[in-house]
Structure 1
Amino acid sequence: MDSAVARERALDAAEELFYARGIQAVGMDAVRAASGVSLKRLYQLFPAKEALVEAYLLRRDVRWRQRLADRVDRHQDPRERILAVYDRLHEWFSEPGFHGCAWINSFGELGATSPRVAELARAHKQAVRDYLRTLVSDAGLPADTADPLHLLAEGAMTTAAIFGSPEPALQAKKAAARLLDAAR
């Protein structure tokens, strides 16, 4: 197995395990077993577990934000583009195996002891906030509208994970619509 294939297998296994069970609960042996990548190769690719966690979060960030953009890009109307963020959240919260936000979870587990995990969590959240700021700007709305929209999304993520329901996305969408109407 070449390095690229081994890396993808390891990351696939790590993502599934870390997201479902938590980072601290999953050892490198579990990643080895789930991926079929030998422990020696795994450590050649990722010299420490933190390197694997970093790669997992970076790859997930790209995928997560692309799915969000794909959902938003189905719409032309600037208001609908903003509200599509919450539609994407609803889709995500409805997926089997939804366990909340990987960055919130990672930060909760390791943010106090891993500056790199904390940095990655902040970078992801900032990128999402910046994306909302762009959508708000494109809609011709006041710039300060983006931060409460971001908080609605973040609150929906946490609430959906805790209660195991996609409903918070719909509630956040209603609140976002009201916020957009008030901002006009």
Structure 2
Amino acid sequence: MTPPSLIAPAPHRTSVQDAIVVSADALFTAEGITPVALDRVAVGAQVTPAELREAFPTRQALVVAALQYRHDEWMTALITAEASFEDPRDQILAVFSHLEDCFTDHSYRGCAFINGYGELGRLNPVVAGLAHEHLRQLEQHIAILCAAAEMPAHLAPALTLLIQGAQVEAAIHGNITPARTGRMAAAMLMSVYEAPSLF
């Protein structure tokens, strides 16, 4: 069953829970979920192991919270990047500009949901459900932009594939080229559906 945390707004968290989630997100992103000892998460959050266990009684509860946090951060960053443009076509291309900014960070390790699914998803239905829901929401977001640009809805899955593929390649190659290639491919794909004439 897919946890509702990625569907509903993020739940209110205490300052201790926030610190733990941010620490877990950083460690899980850098090293993967399985290798990270929870004591290290506690150290990063500057809390005791007992405080961590009180805030998140199980490792899975912390993994879910960290992935929810990553989803919220990702979607907020996309919306912020898009806000500089009025044309929905430019807003779609702004996603790739945002990716390029992400890829310039040498600590970039790829999409947390793709990585999490690759590591745990085949054995952990909760992580698989979170990855599915993250991708579904991204695709829905792109579909809304496609509709605003008067482009067909079936472009959204193709554009989402370019977004996700760019993240995988950037994580492997360690450079920004996949963002630029994805942007070029997205622009070419959208050019098939020219903006309607105002005259």
TM-score (normalizing by structure 2): 0.88
Counting matched residue pairs gives 182
| 3-state secondary structure, aligned to 1:23 | coil
Task: Note the alpha carbon deviations across 1:3-53, whole angstroms, 9 max, x for none.
Answer: 822111111211111110110010111112222211111111111111000
In the alignment, is residue 49 of structure 1 matched against residue 59 of structure 2? yes
Give the structure 2 partner of residue 28 of structure 1.
38
| 3-state secondary structure, aligned to 1:156 | helix
Give the structure 2 partner of residue 183 of structure 1.
193
Deviates more, 1:156-165 or 1:31-40: 31-40
In the alignment, is residue 37 of structure 1 matched against residue 47 of structure 2? yes
Q: Residue 177 of structure 1: CA displacement?
A: 0.5
One-letter identity of the residue aligned with 1:43 = R
| 1:8-27 equivalent positions in 2, closer than 5 A | 8-27=18-37
| 1:56-71 equivalent positions in 2, closer than 5 A | 56-71=66-81
Q: Residue 63 of structure 1: CA displacement?
A: 1.1
Indicate the structure with greater helix content. Answer: 1
Q: Residue 145 of structure 1: CA displacement?
A: 1.3
Task: Note the alpha carbon deviations across 1:100-123, whole angstroms, 9 max, x for none.
Answer: 000001111110121111111111
Give the structure 1 partner of residue 178 of structure 2.
168
Measure the CA separation in 2 of the matches of 1:127 and 1:113.
23
Q: Residue 95 of structure 1: CA displacement?
A: 2.1
Measure the CA separation in 2 of the matches of 1:16 and 1:95.
14
Give the structure 1 partner of residue 99 of structure 2.
89
One-letter identity of the residue aligned with 2:71 = D
Partners of 2:38 and 2:49 within 8 A in 1: yes
Give the structure 2 partner of residue 116 of structure 1.
126
Partners of 1:145 and 1:183 within 8 A in 2: no
Long gaps (5+) in structure 2? 1-12, 195-199
Measure the CA separation in 2 of the matches of 1:78 and 1:14.
35
Query: Once superposed, what is the RMSD of the aligned Cα atoms?
Result: 1.1
Q: Residue 67 of structure 1: CA displacement?
A: 0.3
Which of 95, 112, 122 matches 1:102? 112
Measure the CA separation in 2 of the matches of 1:160 and 1:118.
22
Identity of aligned residues (%): 36
Task: Note the alpha carbon deviations across 1:37-77, whole angstroms, 9 max, x for none.
Answer: 11111111111111000000001111110000110111011
